[in-house]
Structure 1
């Protein structure tokens, strides 16, 4: 059962670690690592749909950062294995979760903070097994894992399944972290991180790894339920909310990422200071939570999805706070007004530490002054507002209306069109798909992929808007709850519902959500814009044969297949 705990910062004292690391050590490490070629294929935009190699990745991280992230992962595996026969400390769970979250795409580009995190993980392992380093007969069971063993694994199917496990738990760690910040943990979720990390280092066959892959999806469902409980208990059940895209004149701060707690703390510290707060990207659903809606200076939403930030933040006359991932390499035109917090880190950017004193952000916003006049911004399709707040609490509260509408033929079909957005050519597919859906269908959406179409005015059905934003990527839990409830009402399984899932993916949180859908036995998922590079042909064939996963083609062809 989820446990409500008192949130006490056992946050890693990264700043202190950095101060104690000799600069010559960091310089030598950079020189050594820069001689190595990176390898990374964890995100959708990986070079050539095969993997980023050479000096830098498509996301912007260089070979030094990539190697340090691998070293950090190897240290986490060593720590997890050390806890197999030794009791963990009160800090071990947090260090495991925070370390995994740090390696998610677009979170940390900073070699110094990564080095500090590695040191912290190794020091934690020393606390767990204090006599290991002085042992006269080392067994190697708690040694840090060399990730090159995974990337160079000759059996591509083994490499594929282990990658699915690793990338899945990286995404799940982000959700566990957000719940933990609000004081919620689950021992089943925490314990699984140790198991999954350890399995990556074991010499196992496909039949042993496949169940663990699906177990990632099973445990992630618990993790998403935990975060849903944490968010709704802390901030209330989301309610349908109309969010303007206009930016009012005067000082302002843009908050991006996913962390509702950071937003709440900033709203508290900016009360009565004449500063307006705007959400960006995955923070949009914050407007629907009653305990956040009560702040009158939470005004609206700035911009669209994460991949447009370099254009949208160009010379912005306001401050920007990054609370979690979706950070892109910062351009000089706005570098002096970007701030990071939690696990997000970028070289030379001001970081707000665990004390959560947002004074530097506030002072920068006041200094810049904002726009002189209101800015009439629009969405990608020219809309002036977007809607959010259609979580499972809201949708299920009108379940009878929805069920009657389906039975009477007023609603013909449900489409879940959601997931991550990105810059790769072809993502306009999702806009065109939504535009071409039948006028008697409902589009459920979530995550930042919705910015492709969430400002479209597609009208209503029986008083319900045709586009319903269910929230952040983790709010896939809401979509699952609605699907299960509808299946129970119609006395069928989810795959027999007039419901189709058309998903876009970019990073590791999308991976763990996909694995959750597979764990639930949900089939006929359309996935795009490309298939993951870490899925081998045999593993892909397994997914196609057992779950009928299909790559997207064209909106016209896919709609024809779905609707017959």
Structure 2
């Protein structure tokens, strides 16, 4: 088994890269190398597709393959090998007189000049994150030809000799196309399940059989709710599935009861000996401990060795039977967030916030709201992330905190009051709901006849994996400046590339809550 090289997530070893036999995420070297082979195969497919017409099957294969290589998605060599074969088969199907291109050797990227490697990594990791959003839209029947075609363009860029200026242009284009992809997913979710509404979600688990569903895929949750109707089984969301409670069509299921646990990195402790099964629908899966391995199930591109996988038939009977077998808690059991609160509120997506935009604008004009903070992004285990909890606690009472993604679990159980009947903490949803935040910021900028950068708005973001990368690129593509990013800068960003981003967009790393608040508010 050859050594691995991976530096795509925030927790990467020593802030430089995971090498040797395993990564910090628990991914083994052979799995990492198979993921590199898969990426190289997709680059070969993208180059072949330049002179052929990709089909819907080709699009789906590329989107799934990119999604499969996101951190904490697939730990299963067999499923990755199977997808490599699917990619190579798609390439052969495209040929028809066109010369098939060889698969790309990823060592060429990892050994490239650091600035070239940095820019290509921004593109590659950005489209991996974007592919997750495209995938969630696709399962609901929504796709966009421009988004699909960009995946090929970006993959070709990763596998080609290009100048720094050419790569910088594609980095920015990655952000632009991701905005369209997030808009597509927003449309897919709201047209399918309704516009989210503010919803209070309990963390108490009622007695009796239950199932915990984790990840981001609303379609999988909908199917599970349908299959558990009238079976005496309650459903609890976990992690990024929390915002599902705000969608009217999903809220209508009375056995969708509440939220279990906190952010993804706490699962090994929170799932220890849980008397219920857990279904993983997307990423955020950690290496499964023996104490609960018999009750974990995966579906779609998520996979783990020797864990039961629910296939394309979407028959959740094994999960249902396990819930009935385990029986759940014998009495109602109260759980809390990291700050002791036992209720979470979600559903403040653009539909809700823009419906009260006049109140928000009046509150700003009257001085009741002095500043907005978007504090959100990925959570993680690395020391220093309590910064975000302390930052929110220390924000003045005349400020509003917009939040999204699993980083909110650091503070979303806090009660820090209201302004004009609106809670000071507004959960806008999953990471892809950055689209909602952008729409709200644009609406406020229009109302005040100013640029977004002139608004009393500061972005204080945490990152962990590749979906955070594509969102950051989207913000930069929109020209948004003065972003505070933490807990550390990405290992794959070289000093020269960082200098470009700092000079053009004034990106800062977080310091301390007190220092950053003073810098922001003066």
The reply to whether TM is greater than 0.5 is yes
1:304 is matched with 262
Residue 249 in 1 paired to residue 249 in 2? no
2:297 is matched with 339
Residue of structure 1 aligned with 2:355, choices 367, 375, 397: 397
2:312 is matched with 354
Q: How does 1:313-392 map to 2 (within 5 A)?
A: 313-392=271-350
Deviation digits for residues 235-291 of structure 1, max 9, x if unmatched?
000000000000010000000000000000000000000000000000000000000
- May I ask how many residue pairs the two structures share in their alignment? 522
Alpha-carbon distance in structure 2 between the residues aligned to 1:215 and 1:454:
33
Q: How does 1:21-32 map to 2 (within 5 A)?
A: none
Residue of structure 2 aligned with 1:55, choices 18, 21, 24: 21
1:466 is matched with 424
Deviation digits for residues 461-498 of structure 1, max 9, x if unmatched?
00000000000000000000000000000000000000
1:152 is matched with 111
1:504 is matched with 462
Deviation digits for residues 509-543 of structure 1, max 9, x if unmatched?
00000000000000000000000000000000000
2:102 is matched with 143
Residue of structure 2 aligned with 1:126, choices 86, 92, 106: 92
Residue 46 in 1 paired to residue 2 in 2? no
Q: How does 1:196-235 map to 2 (within 5 A)?
A: 196-235=154-193
Q: CA deviation at 1:88?
A: 1.8
Deviation digits for residues 170-195 of structure 1, max 9, x if unmatched?
00000000000000000010000000
Q: Secondary structure at the match of 1:184?
A: coil
Q: CA deviation at 1:205?
A: 1.1
Residue of structure 1 aligned with 2:499, choices 532, 538, 541: 541
Q: Secondary structure at the match of 1:185?
A: coil
1:6 is matched with none
Deviation digits for residues 282-310 of structure 1, max 9, x if unmatched?
00000000000000000000000000000
Alpha-carbon distance in structure 2 between the residues aligned to 1:378 and 1:195:
46
Q: CA deviation at 1:201?
A: 1.0
1:27 is matched with none
Alpha-carbon distance in structure 1 between the residues aligned to 2:243 and 2:432:
11
2:51 is matched with 85
Alpha-carbon distance in structure 2 between the residues aligned to 1:321 and 1:385:
22
Q: Secondary structure at the match of 1:108?
A: coil
Q: CA deviation at 1:87?
A: 1.7
Residue 437 in 1 paired to residue 404 in 2? no
Q: CA deviation at 1:130?
A: 4.9
Q: TM-score, normalised by structure 2?
A: 0.99
Q: CA deviation at 1:131?
A: 5.8
Alpha-carbon distance in structure 2 between the residues aligned to 1:207 and 1:423:
35
Q: CA deviation at 1:89?
A: 2.7
Alpha-carbon distance in structure 2 between the residues aligned to 1:201 and 1:185:
25
Alpha-carbon distance in structure 2 between the residues aligned to 1:479 and 1:120:
37
List gaps (5 residues or longer) in structure 1.
1-33, 133-138
Alpha-carbon distance in structure 1 between the residues aligned to 2:54 and 2:11:
37
Q: Secondary structure at the match of 1:278?
A: strand
Q: CA deviation at 1:129?
A: 1.1
Alpha-carbon distance in structure 2 between the residues aligned to 1:179 and 1:498:
33
List gaps (5 residues or longer) in structure 2.
none
Alpha-carbon distance in structure 1 between the residues aligned to 2:114 and 2:20:
21
Q: Secondary structure at the match of 1:417?
A: strand
Alpha-carbon distance in structure 2 between the residues aligned to 1:361 and 1:460:
41
Q: CA deviation at 1:90?
A: 3.1
Q: Secondary structure at the match of 1:501?
A: strand
Alpha-carbon distance in structure 1 between the residues aligned to 2:181 and 2:60:
15
Residue 529 in 1 paired to residue 471 in 2? no
Q: RMSD of aligned C-alpha atoms? A: 0.7
Alpha-carbon distance in structure 1 between the residues aligned to 2:121 and 2:457:
30
Q: TM-score, normalised by structure 1?
A: 0.92
Q: Secondary structure at the match of 2:56?
A: coil
Residue 37 in 1 paired to residue 14 in 2? no
Alpha-carbon distance in structure 2 between the residues aligned to 1:376 and 1:159:
48
Q: CA deviation at 1:384?
A: 1.1
1:4 is matched with none
